[in-house]
Amino acid sequence: MSRDISRRSILAAFPLAALSVSALTACGGGTSSASGGASSPVSQADIDAAMKKDTKLTFWTWVPDIQKEVDLFQAKYPAMKVEVVNVGQGGAHYQKLRAAIQAGKGAPDVVQMEFDKLPSFTLTDNLLDLTAYGIGDLKSDYPAWVWDGVSPGGKGIYGVPQDTGPMGMLYREDLFTAAGLTVPKTWDDFAAAVSTYRGKNPSSMLVNWAPSSEANMLGLFWQAGGRPFSYDGTKNVKINLTGDAACKKVTSFWNDLFRSGNIGNEPDFADAWYQGLNSGKYASWLTGAWGPVFLQGTAKSTAGKWRAAPLPQWDPSKPASGNYGGSTDAVLKSSENPIAAAMLARFVNTDDKAALTLANEQFLFPPSTKTLKNPAFADAPSSFYGGQKVNQQFTDISSTVQEGFQFLPFNDYAASSYDKTMGKAIGDRGDLNAALSAWQDDLVQYAKGQGFTVAS
Amino acid sequence: MAAYALSMPFMIAFTLMIAVPLAYAGYLSLFKKQLIGGVSFVGMDNYARALTDASFLGGVGRMALFLVIQVPVMLGLSLLFALILDSGMLRLQKFIRLGVFLPYAIPSVIATLMWGYLYGKDFGPFAQLAKSLGLPAPDFLAGGNVLFSIMNIVTWGFVGYNMIVMYAALRSIPAELYEAARVDGAGEWRVAWSIKIPAIKGALLLTTIFSVIGSFQLFNEPNLLRVIAPAAIGQDYTPNMYAFQLSFVNQDANYAAAIAFLLGIVIMAVSYGVQLTANRKEKAS
């Protein structure tokens, strides 16, 4: 749901003069991390006092109908007046956020922040460490890998988890059966199924894998145990795509599939791709837990024919998965009302009613163990999936995601660098293994150019 | 004194909207900002880097190729349509004039989305047609073809605009000239070649320079087609796309400012070259 879909967003015209002006806004001001930020724990008395004071908060998010949860917050704390603003989805959201931060004014108090973008904003010291605001006592409510996402490397807490995307496989049961296939348990089974399927259906394919797919691919690296990146919060980054056995294994596996010509390489979230899912050109989709509801809205004519299963495994005795997408709500350091802002971020995602509404009405896949286990969520059957309890399936998958995965503190660049190396190889069915090296080299060069000390 | 007062509104707008942002971008282009280590003065380093940057040079080269092929085709078509309309030999003149102009009224974003659909190799009409004839579907979005597909979109969008500019110029030619030419025995072609085209030289130069500027600043069309052809269209496909990428993805606004400046210089140089060639020809004739 809250996966970065900036690729779909439409950018405005960009003549030379506008560029200079934008460059101006993008670079003016200075760091604006002056206000806000308690280092010693905030007491309950402080919180009570702050929540009774008339306060105006701004909340930037692109979650549809989030006003429902905000209304619950305002009903509980009548002194709070929250303005919800949707400045755009994905890329546009972060560009406007950066511009507001650099300008030193106009930034929100609370902001939706995807897991993979969070380190980019802690790097520039824009997010408030919520440790002092009591957010730490939420830790035990979440699977360890989810908490990793808001507390990269275990240093500080920079957001409250909103939704996640543990990866599974959505597949057309009718097409699988017609081809005489069962759900592949291992990646070897999967590779065999790919060629069997293609043999029986010359004009369609078992799966499509898009060129611009960094977040998706990182999910597969994650599943295989790959930990290519880390950042220590100062100036040291690790970039080790080519030295990480799991990353190499996954890359080489997909390289063979692309080279065989038996899987698709069409750009995702584009017309032809939607059409492909609708028409049966693609019989499966490897995606995050937000995928089932997304597909339901996209491939309407195939209702009842889809099922959900875990990803194929590298080692079936130790089921694993990775995460693809998902967001947190973070508080900006520049907020003048950090206590109220932290309480808002906490409330909309953890209040029982708010959390269940997010899961069941806005269809955000819940991060907290409590909501995942809530029968009102987990036991809901889905008719699009032939009555299967899809939520239950992804809840089970969520518990198999391993911890310790980190994103680079410049993931925007990492994704665009992926597009021109790995993505290009996928699009051209070129050498994916060589592209992994090219991606590695490009990232190292960028990191060094930005002043990082790079280890591999 | 009155002259100054009268030009004040323009001067204020010019200073605020053009001069100050340009000066600031120029100032920014002399610095470097790193994620770790902050801002430092680097003089002309950003410019030196741009001059050896394959992404920037590749983009400028691609746009130069675009210009050399697309601009003559587009302006040639515009001129042809303008002359046909002006000859008065067509029925439904107003209707045809509006029809050719109409694509210009469609925002380039919408036009690109529409063409992106037409180009589609699964369900686009061209692909369907090819399939029904048993031919392989043409891949308009493949690496080698996509530049021409973009040229087609831009041509489609701007032929009408340029046609109107030329047509307006043609209408202002005094009719006596035609009568004199007819008396001398000139036919329609001869009139067009010897009277009409030379008479609208100013309009031709204007449309050429606008087209040159437009070519180098190409952004919308490739940026939108990138969604459906990410492997064929890189983020550095055109200089403007590259500058956008540098500024908002690479967080390197300073280098982006240098790229924008260099692009401005390239555009000025080429436009000046076009003007100079035109003036020389005028003197020679």
Query: Closest-CA residue in chain B for A97?
Result: B248
Chain B 4-43, residues with CB within 8 Å of chain A CB atoms: 17-18, 21-22, 24-25, 28, 33-37
* Whether A449 contacts chain B with CB within 8 A: yes
Q: For B150-197, how does the pLDDT look when each residue is reduced to its tens digit (9 = 90+)?
A: 999 999 999 999 999 999 999 999 989 988 998 998 888 899 999 999
What is the distance between the terminal CA atoms of chain B, rounded to a whole angstrom? 42
**Cβ-based contacts of B248 with chain A (< 8 Å):** 26, 91, 95, 98
Reading phi first (left if > 0) and then psi (alpha if -120 to 50, else beta), residue B161 is in alpha
Mean pLDDT, chain A, whole residue set: 90
Closest CB from A21, A124, A269 relative to B21:
A21
As a whole-number percent, the residues of chain B with pLDDT over 70 amount to: 99
Beta bridge partners of A332: A127
> Torsion angle, CA of A86/A92/A97/A102, rounded to 10 degrees?
-150
N-term to C-term CA, chain A: 33
390-429 in chain A: CB under 8 A from chain B: 409-410, 412-413, 416, 419-420, 423-424, 426-428
| Residue A439 identity | W
Q: Tell if the CB–CB gap between B227 and A267 is shorter than 8 Å.
A: yes
Does A450 touch chain B if contact means CB atoms closer than 8 Å? yes
A431 min Cα distance to partner chain B (Å): 14
For residue B32, CA distances in Å to A240, A267, B3, B56, B182 come to 27, 35, 43, 18, 67
| Residue B278: HSE in the Cβ half-sphere, 13 Å Cα cutoff | 17
> Could you tell me if B63 lies within 8 Å of chain A, comparing CB atoms?
no
Q: How far is CA A244 from CA A418, A421, A439, A440, B155, in A?
A: 17, 18, 13, 11, 49
Neighbours of A89 (CB within 10 A): 18
Q: Can you give the pLDDT at residue A90?
A: 83
Q: Quick one: pLDDT band at residue B13, thresholds 50, 70, 90?
A: very high
ipTM over 0.95: no
What percentage of chain A has pLDDT greater than the value 70?
A: 91
Inter-chain touch B244–A21, beta carbons under 8 Å: no
Q: Do B240 and A22 touch (CB under 8 A)?
A: no
pLDDT of residue A38: 62
pLDDT at A39 exceeding the cut of 90: no
Q: Crossing angle of helices A411-418/A432-449, nearest 10°?
A: 150
Question: What pLDDT is stored for residue B122 in this prediction?
Answer: 78
Query: A134-147 in b/e burial notation, b at 16+ Cβ within 10 A?
Result: bbeebeebbbebbb
Residues paired with residue A170 on neighbouring β-strands, in sequence order: A285, A308
**Inter-chain residue contact A412 with B249, CB threshold 8 Å:** yes
Pull the structure tokens for residue A55. Answer: 């306060």
> CA-CA distance, A70 to A377, in Å (whole number)?
21
Q: Of B28, B229, B250, which has the smallest distance from its Cβ to A27's Cβ? A: B28
Nearest to A274 by CA among A262, A290, A285, A258: A285
- Which residues neighbour B20 within 8 Å (Cβ) at sequence distance 6 or greater? none
Q: Do B256 and A16 touch (CB under 8 A)?
A: no
Amino acid at A159: G
Beta bridge partners of A164: A326
Mean pLDDT value across residues B46-51: 96
Checking if the pLDDT of A431 tops 80, the result is yes
CB contact under 8 A, A276 and B122: yes
CB contact under 8 Å between A419 and B235, yes or no, is yes
Q: How confident is the model at residue A16 (pLDDT cuts 50, 70, 90)?
A: very low
